Amino acid sequence: MHRLANGNTVVANWGGHGHIGKQPHLFEVTRDKKVVWQVFDNALFKTISSVQVLDAPSAASRGAPLR
């Protein structure tokens, strides 16, 4: 998970153990539990276990993001 500056949360959703292809891989949710966007692409991904948003400024950022 990654908390954004606006309070939303980006979640990596690991869908293993019989759930592959049944749920989104990544999604962003607001504080009031509304889905902003989601990535559901089984041709590109089987499972995803983590996410890090590199373009979002935060207190933990030290220097420019590496790409």
Tell me what pLDDT residue 29 has: 95
Least confident of 13-17, 22-26, 57-61: 57-61
Q: Is the dihedral of CA 22, 37, 42, 1 positive or negative?
A: negative
Domain range annotation of the chain: 2-39
Instruction: List C-alpha distances in Å: 43 to 22, 25, 40, 54, 62.
Output: 13, 12, 9, 24, 35
* More confident site: 4 or 43: 4
Checking if the pLDDT of 36 tops 80, the result is: yes
Tell me what pLDDT residue 32 has: 96
Per-residue pLDDT tens digits for 49-60: 887 777 756 555
